[in-house]
Amino acid sequence: MLTIEDVIKGAKLNIGVHREALIRSAYEMALSAHAGQKRKSGEDYIQHSLGTALNLAKIGLGSKTISAGLLHDVPEDTEVTVQDIEKKFGSEIANIVEGVTKLGKIKLRGTKEELYLENLRKMFLAMAQDIRVVLIKLADRLHNMETLENLEPEKQERIARETLDIFAPIANRLGIGEFKNKLENLAFKYLEKENYEYVLKLSQEQHEQRKKHLAVVSRELQKELTKEGIEVISITGRTKHLYRLFQKLKKHDMNFDKIYDLAGIRIIVPEIVNCYETLGIVHRKYRPMIGRIKDYISLPKPNGYQSIHTTIFGPEGRFLEIQIRTKKMDDEAEYGIAAHWIYSEEKKGIKDFLFRKKDKVPEKELLWIKQLREWQKELGKDNKEFVEGLKIDFFKNHIFAFTPLGDVIDLPEEATPIDFAYRVHSEIGDRAMSAKANGKMVSLDYKINNGEVIEIITSRDYKNPSRDWLRFVKTSAAKSRIKKFMKKKGMI
């Protein structure tokens, strides 16, 4: 059972007395709001709020995000409203909680189609507007995955699939390895039980075998580096995480001997220059494998990942991968976009931090935008200015609207309720009579805005597409359906 003390102790960032008080009072509000509510496991609901908050604390987020994490299910599931939260904690926390509530309404039901999934991921990010909303959704999902055993098998499967298709890739895009790896491994466990067990067993056996080997190489390298006057912050053995390992095994006909980076050593040094010095020392001590030296410091991965990788032949000719990076790079690899909070907060000093009006700092917003830009570039779309402030407009020619049940319908810009109706189902298009956008009546040639909930009121008794509709519909599907209907009726 988790308590609020676990969350406060779990915080990577030094929170300070004032901020601790904020977290405690957010906890009090969540505790009384969720009082009496139970989860499927029979535990009190507050365990989920605490689990989510702890996940946020562990990746170094500050008290406002942790507090919003504690409150994230309050407006949706209890009598307490966003307005109540605003009155007590101010608009910043209230806005984050509201963003989480809104995002929760989107159904991320995916098809197998990669393009559709990619759109869902992008939409998810674009709708969030404040990156902290996404971080809370990821922490929330991680806790749900951690407690997935309590649900029925079909639900487990659906949630695990959604996690692998939508949430893990988003965590990866934001560079949060800590979340990505855990989400992938947990989803893997539920989606492919047998393969999971198999890989887990093999990995543990291999680890036992390699432990001694890793220890010997670590000791040798530590000695060499110290001799050369390089400060080593840490040198640790590591194993590849299970889902990635499984992906690699599949590529290599399940042959373990072909996986070079199954086990490895991570060396953390203070400065970038030390990384290259360390690489030289490693290669002098152990022969490197040709074609396995990767300099992600000079050429970072698209999600910002930086490190040097090299595979060496260790004692007895056993190979292993060595990763060399600075502390900052290591934190960024684990915590991604969240790491920028840690660094900016540490730099500014805790006092400055306490009295700063907002948690937001331009640099990290820039990084967030930069990463999204990289993402867009990778997708091969045109890379024009698509950012105004923090509102991210991915969709120059694209909008997303929702059905009243929360399904996502993607449409071209300036699409109308008739386009929407035909996109949902041709019968609905044919029988459309009137429409509502966000609960208000609109005309059938209304131009839908991104994110609106569109409801189509249909006629039970007759179909009524009209020539008039052809003037304003934007999708070819709607056009051809309308024409087809009129031809049948002899109207064309």
What one-letter code names the amino acid at 317?
G
Q: Which is the catalytic residue, given 6, 20, 43, 77? A: 77
What one-letter code names the amino acid at 26?
A
Task: Identify the three-state secondary structure at position 102.
Answer: helix
- Residues 487 and 490: their CA atoms lie apart, in Å, by 5
Check if the beta carbon of residue 99 is closer than 8 Å to that of residue 130.
Answer: yes
Dihedral of the alpha carbons of 36, 37, 43, 49, in degrees to the nearest 10? -110
Q: Which is nearer to Mn ion, 70 or 342 (CB)?
A: 70
Q: Which residue is nearest to Mn ion (CB)?
A: 140
User: Which element (helix H / strand E) includes 360?
Assistant: none
Distance between start and end Cα atoms, the chain: 70
Exposure string of 83-100, with b = 16+ CB inside 10 Å and e = fewer, is: ebbbeebeebbbbbbbbb
- Residues 267 and 232: their CA atoms lie apart, in Å, by 7
Q: Which is nearer to Mn ion, 73 or 455 (CB)?
A: 73
Q: C-beta of 491: minimal distance to Mn ion in Å?
A: 52
Q: C-beta of 88: minimal distance to Mn ion in Å?
A: 20
Per DSSP, 328 falls in state H
Q: Which is the catalytic residue, given 5, 28, 76, 414? A: 76
Per DSSP, 337 falls in state G
Return residues touching Mn ion (CB under 5 A): 73, 140
- C-alpha distances in Å from residue 114, one per residue of 111, 166, 186, 260, 488: 8, 11, 21, 29, 36
Q: C-beta of 48: minimal distance to Mn ion in Å?
A: 6
Q: Which is nearer to Mn ion, 73 or 419 (CB)?
A: 73
Q: Which is nearer to Mn ion, 48 or 248 (CB)?
A: 48
What one-letter code names the amino acid at 379?
L
Task: Note the Cα 275 to chain centre separation in Å.
Answer: 29
Task: Identify the three-state secondary structure at position 454.
Answer: strand
Structure tokens at 212: 């001694």
Q: Which is nearer to Mn ion, 141 or 173 (CB)?
A: 141
- Alpha helices per DSSP H over 34-81: 46-58, 63-70, 74-77
E-only strand ranges, 202-318: 234-239, 263-269, 287-288, 294-295, 308-313
Q: C-beta of 45: minimal distance to Mn ion in Å?
A: 9
Residue 445 a catalytic site member: no
Residue 44 a catalytic site member: no
- C-alpha distances in Å from residue 468, one per residue of 428, 465, 482, 483: 17, 8, 10, 11
- Residues 369 and 15: their CA atoms lie apart, in Å, by 27
Dihedral of the alpha carbons of 212, 215, 220, 221, in degrees to the nearest 10? 140
Q: Which is nearer to Mn ion, 30 or 338 (CB)?
A: 30
- What are the respective helix, strand and coil percentages of the chain, to the nearest 5? 55, 15, 30
Catalytic center residues: 76-77
